[in-house]
Amino acid sequence: MAATSTNSMNQEIQVTGATIWLTGLPSAGKTTIAYELAGRLREEGHRVEVLDGDEIRTFLTAGLGFSREDRHTNVQRIGFLADLLARNGVKTLVPVIAPYADSREAVRKRHQASGAAYIEVHVATPVEVCSERDVKGLYAKQAAGEISGLTGVDDPYEEPESPDLRIESHTQSVQESAAALHALLAERGLA
């Protein structure tokens, strides 16, 4: 959906929102790519929000655990917020694992029902690379037996069968990954 806005020269401009959901394993590069793309979109004059999964768990979904049911609830709450923002002209970047295909599909259907654009991006980084990156130390904690239920290791991750874009972040730079996603947005009239 497009909203209209007036800039300082009293010209109407179209403000088209969308949800860009980046799914992938922990330490795949989702958040890094999202913030790189957000900067580029802001420079172009777009209204942008990044719904970082860690921040959302701290402020919006505190109290939820990591059971399948809680993960589904977390994804649905984030999906609701992303749809709300997208319908109001905001490019909403969502770097959230969202390990289950049915949860992601429910978010897609919510967007289809509201008319908001939705793009699913699979940041397809192999678990071995994610484990080496180990940005938050989760893989080391899992290997040491300090945590269990790590997505892609001892908890399932259902890869998207047909995402709108697949990014192999281990074979290209963050800037190249963000550029590929920006190109898709431009192709779809969203950038």
Contact call for residues 181 and 121 (beta carbons, < 8 A): yes
User: Residues 106-118: what's their mean pLDDT?
Assistant: 97
Closest by CA position to 172, among listed 120, 121, 119, 124: 124
pLDDT computed for residue 15 by the predictor: 64
What's the rounded Cα separation, in Å, for the pair 40 and 30?
Answer: 16
Instruction: Give the global pTM.
Output: 0.90
For 93, phi then psi, to 5°, come to -95, 125
Per-residue pLDDT of 61-97, as tens digits, reads 888 988 999 999 999 999 999 999 999 999 999 999 9
Tokens (6 digits) for 170: 């281990």
pLDDT at position 3 over 70: no
Contact call for residues 174 and 114 (beta carbons, < 8 A): no
